[in-house]
Structure 1
Amino acid sequence: MTSPESASPSRPAKAAGFALLGVAAVALIIGVVSLFGGGDETPPVAGSSTPPPPVQTTTSESAGETSSSAPAATTTTNPPAATTTSVAQPPPVTQPGAGKVPVRVYNNSTITGLAVRAADEVRANGWTVEGTGNYSQGTIPTTTVYYRPGTDEEASAKELAAVLRARVEARFDGIQGSAPGIILIVTNDFQGASKSK
């Protein structure tokens, strides 16, 4: 026969468990309604002085990436006490190479296949390589990443140069008319990407 003391603790525990399940169900319903119903915004009532929330834009200097996002959750009250709630969207997923300027790699060394090897390292670090070849219009003193000044190429070129431990400069007259994009000219001193990441 079971004593009344051993049976009584299980009843409050069951009651608490059912209460928690009820709270969880209510929270789930509110979440689903907010998710699917929160995107429908009602137009402001005439005479309302509440402006829509601003969109925040952030730019990453290193990769030139730009993303826009709305503020987290905003509640606006219009006369006569109508409430609209908007749910912030998650940030976009960036793919490797997204926001980075394409690169062309040229060999100006005595090492056969150096442009291809350098191109593989450029790709491995997130850039898109548009082509490889030889640069034979002169001698470049050291491995250098070139960009067009005043364009989004500059930030991406500086980032690539830091990764490859190379010099970075504005384009010189001999490559000024080349197609848009970063130009990497590798020489005998090419070291490749830093292994200290």
Structure 2
Amino acid sequence: MTSPESASPSRPAKAAGFALLGVAAVALIIGVVSLFGGGGDTPPVAEGSSTAPPAPTTASETQSTPSSAPPAATTTTAPPASTPASSAVVPPPPVTPPGAAKVPVRVYNNSTVSGLAAKASDEVRANGWTVAETGNYASGTIPTTTVYFRPGTDEEASAKELASVLRARVEPRFDGIQSAAAGVILIVTNDYQGVAKNK
């Protein structure tokens, strides 16, 4: 009687052992297929880009292609709607892109130099901008020659380009000129340098 009781516990243990060996064999087969086949990782790469099949020779190229593809698709879709002509070039550079229209400029003298606004206007025109108005600014003292713009408008890029040409500071409009007519405002002071002479 002792031998049948001792034999019964060994049968479930043997069955469990065979089951574990079967699971291990299946896992081994799956591992070998995925190692040599590589079919599991290829579809996501091919889905993002058609150039994925030639890239698997280098591991770093394969990893960078899928990670860079999804963010470009999500992020780049929104900005091009506002500027269709130069969507990829406009966001990074601060200056006006080539071929973009230059906003009209109003030039005001805030210096002790007579005729400085007229001189600055000539240089602004010579560099491709239209001067809409020339005059004096007497509502306060501006510390240095500055080009002002309304943020979020096409004035911003044009103002930054003009400021780089004239070697001047560029800033958003302040309260005293916030309601002035549309366009870039250049207020020249005693430190006005104008266009660099090395051109």
TM-score between the two structures when normalised by the length of structure 2:
0.53
Matched, 1:58 2:91: no
Give 1 or 2: higher helix fraction: 2
Give the deviation of 1:63 after TM superposition.
2.5
1:194 counterpart residue number: 196
Q: 1: distance between equivalents of 2:96 and 2:182?
A: 17
Give the deviation of 1:64 after TM superposition.
5.0
Q: 1: distance between equivalents of 2:137 and 2:86?
A: 38
Q: 2: distance between equivalents of 1:120 and 1:64?
A: 23
Q: 1: distance between equivalents of 2:110 and 2:158?
A: 22
Q: 2: distance between equivalents of 1:132 and 1:143?
A: 15
Give the deviation of 1:195 after TM superposition.
1.9
Note if contact 1:64-1:100 (Cα within 8 Å) is conserved in structure 2: no
1:178 counterpart residue number: 180
Give 1 or 2: higher strand fraction: 1
| Residues 35-72 of structure 1, C-alpha deviations (whole Å, 9 max, x = no match) | xxxxxxxxxxxxxxxxxxxxx8336643256xxxxxxx
Give the deviation of 1:126 after TM superposition.
0.5
Q: 1: distance between equivalents of 2:135 and 2:173?
A: 17
Of residues 120, 123, 130 in structure 2, which corresponds to 1:121? 123
- Count of residues in Structure 1 that have an aligned counterpart in Structure 2: 111
Identity of counterpart residues, as a percentage? 71
1:111 counterpart residue number: 113
TM-score between the two structures when normalised by the length of structure 1:
0.53
Which 4+ stretches in 1 moved above 4 angstroms? Answer: none
Give secondary structure in 2 for the equivalent of 1:57. Answer: coil
**Rg (Cα) greater in structure:** 2
User: Where in structure 2 are the equivalents of 1:1-197 lying within 5 Å?
Assistant: 57-58=85-86, 61=90, 62-64=95-97, 99-197=101-199
Give the deviation of 1:138 after TM superposition.
0.3
Note if contact 2:96-2:160 (Cα within 8 Å) is conserved in structure 1: no
Q: 1: distance between equivalents of 2:184 and 2:97?
A: 14
Unaligned runs of 5+ in 2: 1-83
1:53 counterpart residue number: none
CA RMSD of aligned residues (A): 1.7
Q: 2: distance between equivalents of 1:104 and 1:116?
A: 11
Note if contact 1:146-1:170 (Cα within 8 Å) is conserved in structure 2: yes
Give the deviation of 1:194 after TM superposition.
1.2
Q: 2: distance between equivalents of 1:136 and 1:192?
A: 21
Unaligned runs of 5+ in 1: 1-55, 66-93
